[in-house]
Structure 1
Amino acid sequence: LYFIWRWDREYHSMKGMWASAFRLIGCYLIGFAMSGVVVLPEAISILSNSRVGARSATLVFDSVLPYLDYLTGLFTPTSMLANRGAEISQLYSYNTENYSVMAVFLWGSSLCSLMVPQYLFGKHREKSSVISVIVITLVALIPILSSAMHGFSEPSFRWLGSVSFFLIAMILPLIEEPDMDQRVLLWSLLAASIVLAGGTALIALADGKELSLIKDDYYLVLICLPSLLVTGAALYYRMTKVIMPVILAELCLVSWFTYFGSPSFNYLNKVDMDRTASILGEKGYYQDWVAQFDPESRQEVVRHYIDSWGVYWGLSTNFNLYYDLMGLMSYDSTYTASTNDLKLLDQDHVQDYLPWTFNITNPDIMTLVSTKYAVVAEESQVPFTNAEYITDYAGMPVYRNNDYYNFGKTYTDIMTYDDYDPSMTGLLRSRLIVHAEDYDEIKALLGNEEITGFEEAVPDGNNYYATLTVNEPGFAVMAVPWHKGWSVTVNGKEVKTYAVSGGLTGIPVVSGTNKIVGTFTPVGLKAGMYATIAGTAGFILLMIIDTILKHRKQ
């Protein structure tokens, strides 16, 4: 859309635009292909994630707030209001049915508020500008279209950052325009002042909220009114040297109240931030510390429960990933799609505040996925049924799960998810839970011997190595989320894998010692490599053609 607008602005005609656009698209596709070895596997992974396609709205929002926020968004610095955790914030942050938080961040400065109407009305009115604004508005206010801009997940206004760039790029040529439409400017200043001063109050009334509840924070709504008036006067009298200092001061003020001046953020001083970021020490330090009193953990697969509020203060559900910590929290596309089956075991104690977030707190499921230790702020937060205090780490008690077993076990009994309900999590240690379509095939693989815990299990990057000894053929489940990118061999022979018991990996085992090796290759990696080779060849060919054409012109 920006390309079309810019072309029309530059040449005042659509002639030749599509030829130029397709050349640009071709160059983009070559660049995209060159990155295929990285992008293609990641795209396939994201498309299999539960967040994609999770939509709670189609044609209309179930609240009037998104519409009012958008219509006033060009004139209101929403960022100062939406994240304060105050009553006024509820007017500018909107939750969908899936608890996805939306806020309209469209404001780009008082200058932007006053200049955009120049392209929509009066003598500077341009057809391409009007069409662009209409298209952007339709996409924003029709949830299914806004969802498409957000990867076909929940509708979101995050993409409006690109619109702010568009609007700023649109107004730049007009800043020093000698014949600016003064009439449109005055009407724009009047409208912007009215919306800025009274828009929030009208939104509150439309939402049924008493004005007394937002009066303490209403000064934030008015804080940009002086700069709006000064900017309008500077534009009217063509005092361009005044505009930039005023806008710079305005943006600094808005940025301050958005972050450091916000009650939701100003408690985060540097000391607390540093402490939070290093609560587990340097990368790998915590694991080394555990190995000092538990040397066997070096030959085991060990997960750790880290209390998300008492230890992390609710700041980061992904620190466990950064520190290579096998934790029980995850978010969005950082987990494989099969892990969604864990919700079938006990959704209330697996799913966190969003449908695509995890924070496992069910003790039976913790044991199922090889959780051995918990770091908590106090004893009441210990999640294990059979826990034992071990020691303190950084002033926080560490408890061991005495029901822990290493990596997995073999099963002799089986049932389907259709016959299972969350009250039966106590059966997870003795009964295999499978999808109905796999029931007959897996049941035929079960043995009569139940072995709890592998003798050895060592994760190593994209591989894991495990040893299990059994007296007869059977079926074992490993605490590794199933993914079709995993290839598993038993004593050198590749075996079929199954997604069982909450999306974990199940395999058939043979009588005797089983040397198990798992190797992960991202799905789409091979195709991505071919795309990269083709893209690189296309780039080289493009450079050769460009050099030849330049040589001919010379």
Structure 2
Amino acid sequence: MYPYSLRPTGRRERWHLKAFLLGFGVSVIFFLPFILYDQGYFLYYGDFNVQQVPFYQMIHDAIRSGNFFWSWTTDLGANTIGSYTFYLLGSPFFWLTLPFPSHAVPYLMGPLLMLKMGCASLTAYLYLKRYVRNQNTALIGAMLYAFSGYSIYNIFFNHFHEAIIFFPLLLAALDEYMATKRRGLFALAVFACCFVNYYFFTGMVAFCLIYWFVRMFANSWKITLGEFFWLLFEAVVGVGLTAVLLLPTVLAVIQNPRIDNPPQGWGALLYGNEQRYVHILQCLFFPPDIPARPNFTPDSNAKWASLGAWLPLFSMSGVIAWLQTQKRDWLKRLLIILFFMAMVPILNSAFQLFNSSYYARWFYMLTLMMSLATVRSLESVQVDWKRSIKWTMGIIAAIAIPIAFIPQEISNDDGTTTTRFGLMQYPDRFWIYVAIAFASLLLLIIALRFLKRDRKMFYRVTMVSVSVITVIYAAYLIGLGKAQSYDTHNFIIPYSLNQGEDIDLPDSDVESRIDIYEGMDNQAMFWQMPTIQAFHSIVPGSIMEFYPSIGVTRDVGSRPETDVYGLRALTSTRWLFDYTGDTEEFESSTNSSDTKMPGWSFYDTQNGFDIWENRYFIPYGFTYDQYMTREQYDNIAESSRHLALLKAIVLEDDAVERNKDILTQAPTDSFRYGEADYYQDCLNRKSDTCSTFTRDNYGFTATYTAGAQDELVFFSVPWEAGWSATVNGEEAIIEKVNVGFMAVRVPANTESTIRFNYTTPGLKAGALITVGFLLLFAAYLILMRKWDQKHPKLHRKIYRIK
């Protein structure tokens, strides 16, 4: 029984600084060798290399140049705020890069991760320290949280660490309000968590509701109706303060069809992949697999699910000890609820707005509760550590032995089968995971010998042991990941991180897009060149609508194959880059004049790539003579639609009525789709284009000279609600055409200046809402301060832990 308050015991600066430096220092030890090996960069594999690094540099450069609204280098074009709030716009760590020049940003990725690890240790300490008598115990828990399996796994997803850092502050602020009714702190914590990452905030809301109700029903807290009202008020204010980012982001995200996918039927109650249950259990007792390479359960269908919750050194021993010794404790109840929710699909999905796509990206919340149970076990005289360690070792063995020795048949490439022992995918990695799991517990047994007889030595031995295990398993996982990566020294560093400085193309003032043939995801983003390829989950809904209409899958990325070659002409794609260091070649191996798409010719080899030029490139801003209705378009074979879009423009019904006087309806039944027809259609479109096209930070400007009648000028820029247009200074109607792009009508016999401006939908309204809530919050603090001064006893009452 001890005070439940944010007010620390001991010297405040020393303990807080120690918490940060421990997390930072240990991370330096396992990150630094890889940074030195990669010439000052930290490069990992997969999403980290092709999303985190180019996203950071590209948006850093955009903001420094004043481009806050439209990203020309994200897919076919995207709302910058809507597309990048999830990844980095709300992150204070991203904003730390702005004082640095562009070329320095990739070098900052490693140091920023170290900083994040230190901050995670600090914030976990801030939450845990109120529950312990000795602050060294809280430091141990902070290290367990900062270097849990979830944290190390999600180095792959760099932006997940912001949630790991800010979540403990949310719980600490909630605890402080419930204990002392301290005003404003909870609102600020809600604001910080929501502003940093809206996706993770939805999970935090679900967790906080469970956390609050469990503690209330366990009589851990007391609250009056009035105090509850002000708590709810602070939560609303905290969310309202984020409106400047949250509102435009929500308006962008709701366009994505992936969000409307709730669990249904048996899929809401049971996972369809039985191995997933083992995977969930395994992640509690073993270091995590690297993303996309599940080892223990190769068919669990959870490759990027962030399944990691292992605590270095302690594993589940501290959690099991707490569960064994407590009867009516709120933390025991909460842990049981969380473990149960992890096993039921619909309950697991509650942490991501009930989306059926399987993710365990809320497990950082679980690891914080597991760390809390572990540190409380360390200070409990009731705990039988010998029994809990035996249970932990037994479960580890119960998982490992069947996976290691049950036989299975393996299909060979020649059609034969081979029987081998073991269900794991990679036996060598499996035994290393098992060795680390058991070695951790053996080190723990040694450390626990000092627990009762020499507490100071116990803390030293335990902290060193946690640090050693962390460095070993973190370095091993990073090394495994790097082994799956593109060749960093011979490819990424010289040809991607150079920002395309060695690329020199003619007519550089002519706007166009590029294509990457069978290359690394987001290669063009490293060079900050407009492209038709993108690995990015959050893009305008019009892109998500357009690509499937021509038979191109658009889920987390745009990767159109060469069979939709008409797409390149439609989207003003002039150049194609084919990396010389791989076996996939754009040029036919049997005929040097034959390419994987018609109409391309070799230009040069630069920056490690063969460069091909589209001889039938059509500049931005061209016109049509014919139109087809959406019904006509839908009746065309999907495989031919990319070519049909070069023959006639697709108009929605309302646009037909406005423009049928200048366009004739196309006889789509008579369309021909041979190569010769494709060439002629490209030449027809190219014969009547804008004389100039210039993009800038606020949109684009084009000039077009019409003939004897009005013309509808098409731009392959994704339609979005934030666009407005003028023609010769007069407001013009933007038509949504070609299933997701834009066109505007220009007058006859006139050289017209066409201007498109983009303003992020919801940004102005969001800013006004934020200002309004800021004023409301200030008034609340002033009024509550006066109230608390008049009623000091009500405000100063401190509840105690039960």
TM range (shorter): 0.7 to 0.9
| Counterpart position of 2:382 | 180
1 CA distance for matches of 2:211 and 2:445? 26
Counterpart residue type for residue 250 of structure 1 = I
Which of 275, 285, 297 pairs up with 1:91?
Answer: 297
Aligned residue among 130, 135, 141 for 2:337: 135
Give 1:453 shift. 2.3
Is residue 217 from structure 1 mapped to residue 429 from structure 2 by the alignment? yes
1:474-489 equivalences in 2 (<5 Å) = 474-489=711-726
Partner of 1:459: 695
The equivalent of 1:413 in structure 2 is: 626
Matched residue, 1:431: 648
Matches within 5 A, 1:81-160: 81-83=289-291, 85=293, 89=295, 91=297, 94-95=300-301, 101-122=304-325, 124-150=326-352, 152-153=354-355, 154-160=357-363
Match of 1:370 among 551, 572, 575: 572
Give the CA deviation at 1:474.
3.2
CA distance in 2, matches of 1:234, 1:106: 22
Bigger drift between 420-429 and 23-32 goes to 23-32
**Cα gap change, 1:266/1:320 in structure 2, threshold over 3 Å: closer, same or farther?**
closer
Equivalent runs, 1:56-455 vs 2, <5 Å:
57-77=267-287, 79=288, 81-83=289-291, 85=293, 89=295, 91=297, 94-95=300-301, 101-122=304-325, 124-150=326-352, 152-153=354-355, 154-177=357-380, 179-182=381-384, 185-202=385-402, 210-212=420-422, 214=424, 215-223=427-435, 224-232=437-445, 234-235=447-448, 238=451, 240-241=458-459, 242-262=461-481, 264-265=483-484, 273-275=492-494, 277-281=496-500, 289-290=504-505, 293-294=506-507, 297-298=508-509, 300-309=510-519, 314=520, 316-317=521-522, 320-321=524-525, 323-347=527-551, 350-351=552-553, 355-361=555-561, 362-378=564-580, 380=586, 384-415=597-628, 416=630, 417-424=633-640, 425-435=642-652, 437-438=653-654, 440-441=656-657, 444=660, 446-447=662-663, 452-455=688-691
| Partner SS for 1:149 | helix
**From 531, 540, 545, the counterpart of 2:783:** 545
Q: Given residue 252 of structure 1, which amino acid in structure 2 is its aligned partner?
A: V
Offset at residue 75 of structure 1 (A): 1.2
Alpha carbons of 1:193 and 1:34: their partners in 2 closer, same or farther (altered >3 Å)? same
Q: CA deviation at 1:333?
A: 4.2
Judge conservation of contact 1:67–1:141 (CA < 8 Å) in 2: yes
From 38, 42, 47, give the equivalent of 2:245.
38
Identity of aligned residues (%): 19
Task: List per-residue Cα deviations over 1:75-107 (Å, max 9, x = no partner).
Answer: 121x2x34484xx626167337xxx73352121
Task: Please report the TM-score for the alignment, with normalisation by the length of structure 1.
Answer: 0.83
Bigger CA drift: 53-62 or 528-537?
A: 53-62
Answer whether contact 1:367 1:403 (CA < 8 A) is retained. yes
Structure 2 residue matching 1:517: 3-state secondary structure: strand
Q: How big is the alpha-carbon RMSD for the aligned residues of Structure 1 and Structure 2?
A: 3.4
- In the alignment, the residues of structure 2 paired with residue 423 and residue 537 of structure 1 have an alpha-carbon distance, to the nearest angstrom, of 56
Kindly state the Cα deviation for residue 173 of structure 1 after the two structures are TM-superposed.
2.9
What does residue 52 of structure 1 align with? 259
Alignment map for 1:444-523 (pairs within 5 Å): 444=660, 446-447=662-663, 452-471=688-707, 472-511=709-748, 512-523=750-761
* CA shift digits 1:248-284 (9 cap, x unpaired): 21121111121114574477656755335414336xx
The residue type paired with residue 733 of structure 2 is: K
Give secondary structure in 1 for the equivalent of 2:285: coil
1:533 alignment partner in structure 2: 771
Match of 1:519, SS state, is strand
| Whole-Å separation in 2 of the counterparts to 1:432 and 1:207 | 60
C-alpha separation in 2, matches of 1:445 and 1:205: 76
Contact kept? 2:534, 2:559, Cα under 8 Å: yes
Counting matched residue pairs gives 523
How far off is 1:246 after superposition? 1.7
- In structure 2, the residue corresponding to 1:304 is in which secondary structure? strand
Deviations 1:212-248 (A, max 9, x none): 4644333223222022133145436626333222222
Q: Distance in 1 between matches of 2:662 and 2:225?
A: 63
- More divergent stretch after superposition (442-451 vs 332-341): 442-451
CA shift, 1:165, in A, is 2.0
Contact 1:50 1:356 in 2 (8 A): no
* TM superposition shift of 1:520: 0.8
Offset at residue 302 of structure 1 (A): 0.8
Structure 2 spans left out of the alignment, 5+ residues? 1-206, 410-419, 453-457, 588-594, 665-683, 793-802
Q: Is the 8 A contact 2:725 2:732 kept in 1?
A: yes
Report what 2:120 is aligned to: none
* Change in 2 beyond 3 A, CA 1:137/1:498: farther
Please say if residues 370 and 408 of structure 1, whose CA atoms lie closer than 8 Å, have aligned partners that are also in contact: no
Letter in 2 for 1:346: I
- With 40-49 and 143-152 compared, the bigger mean Cα shift is at 143-152
Encode CA deviations 1:127-177: one digit per residue, 9 max, x unaligned: 422332233234323333433423554221122122212221332233233
Could you say if the C-alpha distance between residues 10 and 516 of structure 1 is closer, same or farther in structure 2, counting changes exceeding 3 Å? same
CA distance in 2, matches of 1:15, 1:140: 29
1: CA distance, partners of 2:532 / 2:431: 43
Aligned twin of 2:44:
none
- 2:478 aligned partner, one-letter code: Y
* Contact 2:512/2:573 (8 A) holds in 1: yes
Q: Which residue of 1 aligns with 2:796?
A: none
| 8 Å CA contact retained: 1:330, 1:359 | yes
Q: Deviations over 1:494-539 (max 9, x none)?
A: 2222332241112333213232111111111222022111122023
Q: What do residues 154-213 of structure 1 show as CA deviations (whole Å, max 9, x unaligned)?
A: 221122122212221332233233x1321xx33322221122234144357899675346
Give CA deviations for 1:394-446 in whole Å, capped at 9, x if unaligned.
132222111111113222223333212222122221122345x4574366254
Partner of 1:341: helix, strand, or coil?
A: helix
1:425-483 alpha-carbon deviations (Å, 9 max, x no partner): 22221122345x45743662543697632211111112110112222123232110011
Tell me how far apart the structure 2 counterparts of residues 2 and 119 of structure 1 sit (CA, whole Å): 21
What is the alpha-carbon distance in structure 2 between the residues aligned to residue 21 and residue 329 of structure 1?
A: 50
**Does structure 1 conserve the Cα–Cα contact (< 8 Å) formed by 2:486 and 2:492?**
no
- Say whether the 8 Å CA contact 1:279–1:394 is kept in structure 2: no
* Residue of structure 1 equivalent to 2:192: none
